Amino acid sequence: MTERMVPAGDAQLCAEAFGSPADPTILLIGGAAASMDYWEDEFCSRLAAAGRHVIRYDFRDTGRSSHYPAGAPGYTGDDLVTDALAVLDGYGVAAAHLYGVSMGGGIAQELAVEYPERVLSLTLQSTSPAGPGGPDRPDLPPMSPRLAELFASEQPAPDWSDRDAAISALVDGLRAFDGTIAPDAEERAVAARMYDRTIDVAASQTNHWILDGGGLDRGKLAEVTAPTLVLHGTADPLLPYPHGEALANEIPGARLVPLAGMGHQYPLRAVWDTVVAEVAAHTAR
């Protein structure tokens, strides 16, 4: 694997590929405030071993991609959507299978509606047709009371320049979204790699949450023509399992696969066998 920088408008995005370019491409699109490091090397290698060309990349403000001052992102949510196409262009890929987690699942949904010619299939994990539930979305359950209480409390930001304190804060933040499966032992190592590769950690943990633009009108999900696989943790505290059910119901022909005990997370090693097999089969078309 070799990292490369690809242009995206006025930005440069850091990306990395696994496997042969002659194989069908899967573009991995991560969650908010997360670099490509959360798509673990071994997970990517297992997909590549199944005969796929796997590309992961750093969003703006994460990893080695272009950064902006914390609190003043020089881009919008719409830019994050078209950045995914810029990554495909950088590798000379006309159309790809998209695998998005959380915010990345939302980006993948938008791409499938707005740029269907670039999308061979969708895999949507830990995401929703409309975001967290609440009074304005009575058909979708809200986040867990524990998580709601955490979000409502004012947690002081760590000193992001203090490596040990920052990594501990990143891991603590991840654990708030755990399900009932024990977190991976590699969690701290992944967070450390993300910290060490990221140009401005304060910006990475701030700017995605304050972006303007982006977001797909829920009614447009009926326009998705790409074959769709929905993966959803049965113990997701942010987007409870009925969000996955709703997403699968609203995308024509979508298939839902529950991930028992998973929270709102990247795929844990405990479910890799299931996820790799499902994604390999889904992207074989």
Give the integer Cα–Cα distance in Å for 122 and 137. Answer: 24
Q: Dihedral, CA atoms, 95, 99, 103, 107, nearest 10 degrees? A: 20
Closest CA to 221 of 129, 131, 136: 129
Q: What pLDDT does 135 receive?
A: 77
CB within 8 A of 111, min separation 6: which ones?
Answer: 81, 84, 85, 98, 118, 119
The Cα angle at residue 92 between residues 122 and 18, in degrees rounded to 5: 65
Q: Are 133 and 141 in contact (CB under 8 A)?
A: yes
Sign of CA dihedral 8, 10, 11, 12: positive
Q: What pLDDT does 155 receive?
A: 79
Give the integer Cα–Cα distance in Å for 180 and 201. Answer: 29
SS3 state at 254: coil
Question: What tens digit of pLDDT does each residue of 216-268 get?
Answer: 999 999 999 999 999 999 999 999 999 999 999 999 999 999 999 999 999 99
Q: What pLDDT does 170 receive?
A: 95
Give the integer Cα–Cα distance in Å for 252 and 255. Answer: 9
Closest CA to 228 of 95, 115, 119, 140: 119
Within 13 Å and on the Cβ side, how many CA atoms surround 74?
9
Give the integer Cα–Cα distance in Å for 71 and 61. Answer: 11
Give the integer Cα–Cα distance in Å for 82 and 123. Answer: 18
Question: What tens digit of pLDDT does each residue of 113-137 get?
Answer: 999 999 999 999 999 998 877 777 8
Q: What percent of the chain is predicted at pLDDT more than 70?
A: 100
Q: What pLDDT does 133 receive?
A: 77
Q: What pLDDT does 154 receive?
A: 76
Please state the domain extents for the chain.
4-282
Count H helices, E strands: the chain?
9, 8
Residue 23: φ, ψ to 5°: -90, 160
Question: What tens digit of pLDDT does each residue of 73-100 get?
Answer: 999 999 999 999 999 999 999 999 999 9
The one-letter amino acid code at 248 reads: A
Give the integer Cα–Cα distance in Å for 78 and 155. Answer: 29
pLDDT-based confidence at 138, cuts 50/70/90? confident
CATH number of 4-282, picked from 1.10.1740.10, 3.50.50.60, 3.40.50.2000, 3.40.50.1820: 3.40.50.1820
Show the DSSP H helices in the chain as ranges: 41-49, 77-90, 103-114, 145-152, 163-175, 187-197, 201-204, 241-250, 272-282
The one-letter amino acid code at 193 reads: R
Question: What tens digit of pLDDT does each residue of 172-202 get?
Answer: 999 999 999 988 888 999 999 999 999 999 9
Question: What tens digit of pLDDT does each residue of 29-67 get?
Answer: 999 999 999 999 999 999 999 999 999 999 999 999 999
pLDDT-based confidence at 1, cuts 50/70/90? low
Q: What pLDDT does 285 receive?
A: 76
Q: Is-above-0.85 flag for pTM?
A: yes
Question: What is the overall mean pLDDT for the chain?
Answer: 96
Q: What are the catalytic residues?
A: 102, 236, 264
